[in-house]
Amino acid sequence: MTLLEFTTPDWVRDAIFYQIFPERFFNGDAENDPIGVRPWGERPQSRSFFGGDLVGIVKKLDYLQTLGVNALYLTPIFVSPSNHKYDTEDYFTVDSAFGGNDALLKLISALHARDMHIVLDGVFNHCGKTHPFFQDVVEQGPSSPYWDWFTISGEQVVCEPQPNYVCWAGVSSMPEWNHRNPDVCEYLFSVVRHWIRAYKIDGWRLDTTEYLPPNFVRSIRRVAKEENPDAYVLGEVMGLATSWFKHDAVDGVMHYKLWEGLVSFFAKGEWDAQQFINHVNGIWKSYPEEANHTSYTLLGSHDKSRFLTLCRGDHRKFLLAAAFLFTFPGVPAIYYGDEIGMTGEEDPDCRRTFLWKEEEQDRNIFSIVKNLIKLRKERIALRRGKFVFVQAKDTILTYLRQLGKEKIVIVINAGNESVSVKLPAPISGDFYDLCLQEKISSPVEVAAVDFRILRCRE
């Protein structure tokens, strides 16, 4: 077996991720606040700072463990002038506003002591305009040793009004690395190595994977696994990711293609159950089975409107989608605050500060999400079992998870009226409702916009 054969870390199949935008989660140390922080709870603007940091995450680990998550994905934490930090200035130093390298070391130690994992965000398509290598190019022009680390038209760098260098999405503050230059690749590989070797992080999420050369991404995966064979390499891919798995480039992808179906069926009601099944099956059949179990399934992220907002505030629709997420193959992930009913339109509104006052939280959503997590952790069939769609009709969806003798049937009713669902052989018969903790028989009664998770009784 070689490192490039498509096998993935075993721990990922049991992971329940929680994505944190560090600047907005919790301010654990006001002493490291950047200048001009806004009051916690104020609506964010694109350049707002609120003072969230890594110390704040450490202080809230009890909360995260109570919820039941066991892995964190942090958006970028390295030195950068922005609040989102996708414009990296120094890949080897945690931003002082987040507490610096010592704060990361303490966070990792605390997580590993609790048997939790951490994945960092690797922005390797581009850097920030303030990165010293790019600044050297700005100052010295073609005589800079880093001139061909970027792709520049002309004899000097022009940033405004129109940059004359390749940059991400035309944004002048994010010049793209020239990955055709092997020195650039080696520099970025050294970043991958450093944080796994010296700080024992558990993996990397690769920002804008679709913009990166496949061989470069594949090499990142190789480098990461040379340091730690159990490192998780996750790609941000918005479309269908089939080609990335053919290149053995990533262990899994952020499942935005699945997310599109979740929005269409659960949030907006634009699809019926059969259309949703067709969408999911199309993805399922195009990915390796291994990747279907190790791709990161999500309802929300820092790049999308909050799922509850897409549901127009209908908590029932949100919880239906959550029930699907936690009973579907893959690596379920919660975007910070979704578990307490936070809302928000697209960036920057989806990046509001966390609501820590319980009276501002939706405790019903929290309770049900917590129970769904608990159920997934208790039932190995939900994490590792085979997945089969059983039937679909109008707004009613039924599927099976099975591992060995354990069979779990999930019945979802996305319609506005209660239904009686007769399950086909061989799964018809007697069941135990794992949420309501009661024995039932087929046909299964499901309330409007509700679900049932049933263990087949022998």
Catalytic residue IDs: 207, 236
Residue 172's Cα: distance from chain center in Å? 27
Map residue 319 onto helix, strand or coil: helix
Q: Could you tell me if 205 and 73 are in contact, meaning their C-beta atoms sit under 8 angstroms apart?
A: yes
CA atoms within 13 A on the CB side of 163: 18
Map residue 438 onto helix, strand or coil: strand
| Token code pair at residue 387 | 């997945």
| Token code pair at residue 289 | 């089975």
CA distances from 24 to 90, 101, 284, 310, 347 (A): 21, 19, 34, 21, 13
| Token code pair at residue 223 | 């480098």
Strand-by-strand arrangement of the 406-413 sheet:
386-393, 396-403, 406-413, 450-456, 430-433, 438-441
Residue among 367, 370, 339 nearest 354 (CA):
339
Task: Name the DSSP class of 43.
Answer: P
| Token code pair at residue 410 | 């999930």
Rounded to the nearest 5 degrees, what angle is found at the Cα of 62, between the Cα atoms of 56 and 67? Answer: 110
Identify the residue whose tokens are 């997420």: 325
Q: What is the CA radius of gyration of the chain?
A: 23
Identify the residue whose tokens are 């629709």: 317
Map residue 254 onto helix, strand or coil: strand
Q: Could you tell me if 418 and 451 are in contact, meaning their C-beta atoms sit under 8 angstroms apart?
A: no
Query: Beta-carbon neighbour count of residue 39 at 10 Å?
Result: 8
With 0-12 / 13-18 / 19 or more C-beta atoms within 10 angstroms meaning exposed / middle / buried, residue 317 is buried
For residue 78, report the phi and psi dihedrals to the nearest 5 degrees: -80, 165
Map residue 351 onto helix, strand or coil: helix
Residue 151's Cα: distance from chain center in Å? 31
